[in-house]
Amino acid sequence: MLILSVEFYKGSVDMQKKISSIPFKGTPEQETELKKFIEENKHDKSRLMAVMQAAQEIYGYLPMEVQMMIADGMDVPLEKVFGVATFYAQFALSPKGEYNISVCLGTACYVKGAQAVLDKISEILGIGVDECTPDGKFSLQACRCIGACGLGPVMMINDEVFGKLTPDAIPGILAKFNA
Ligand code: FES
């Protein structure tokens, strides 16, 4: 039984990853699949990470509603689920947008100014890393080397690679995606 309200919960944690404000759109089929997996694993609390990984595969990220289902089903505190979700980089608290932007922060890109590129995108879209715009259109991620170091700084928007980036080039690129 969960006794912690989400509102209290949101305000109680100093979060590096922000909880998405995008409305949760889970389907009954997804819920059935997750609950089945929880049922198979709830006897062993050390399976919490495995359940969270399964949940992320099912939903694509771990919204608060899903974390609550996991906490309830595994009979662990919601804080514990949230703590794991925020600690491990593999877990996402926001969905991917229609356009997912991955800025490479690998060494070669970083020394050529990738952080300034990332900051510019963040400024224009009004979101930080691992967040999604409220309309679900853009999400922003930092990634490791994608093997195009000679073109650095580079970013990908879905499958398209953009290289030799500067902060000044970003508005024009994003405008093509109606940002
Ligand atoms: S470091 Fe960015 S592509 Fe290799």
State the CB neighbour count (10 A cutoff) for residue 123. 12
Q: Running DSSP on this structure, what letter comes out for residue 127?
A: -
Q: Got the DSSP string for 1-29?
A: -----HHHHHHHS--SSPPP-SPP---HH
pLDDT, residue 6, reads: 43
pLDDT(100) > 70 = yes
Distance of alpha carbon 152 from alpha carbon 164, whole angstroms: 5
What is the 3-state secondary structure of 56-87?
A: HHHHCCCCHHHHHHHHHHHCCCHHHHHHHHHH
pLDDT(79) > 70 = yes
Instruction: Choose one of 102, 104, 165 to mutate for the ligand 1 pocket test, by most ligand atoms within 8 angstroms of C-beta.
Output: 104
Record the pTM. 0.75
pLDDT, residue 22, reads: 78
Which domains, ranges and CATH numbers included, belong to the chain?
Answer: 26-93 (1.10.10), 99-175 (3.40.30.10)
Walk across the sheet containing 160-162 and list its strands.
131-132, 138-143, 99-104, 155-157, 160-162
- Joined together, the tokens standing for residue 57 give 């595969």
Is the CB of 154 inside a 6 Å radius of any atom of ligand 1?
A: yes
Q: Cis check for the bond before 153: say yes or no (omega within 30 of 0).
A: yes
Q: Average pLDDT for residues 170-176, to the nearest whole number?
A: 96
pLDDT, residue 16, reads: 62
Residue 106: half-sphere exposure toward Cβ, Cα within 13 Å? 16
Band (pLDDT 50/70/90 cuts) for residue 4 is: very low
Identify residue 167 by its one-letter amino acid code: P
Is the CB of 169 inside a 6 Å radius of any atom of ligand 1?
A: no
How far apart are the CA of 161 and the centre of ligand 1, in A?
12
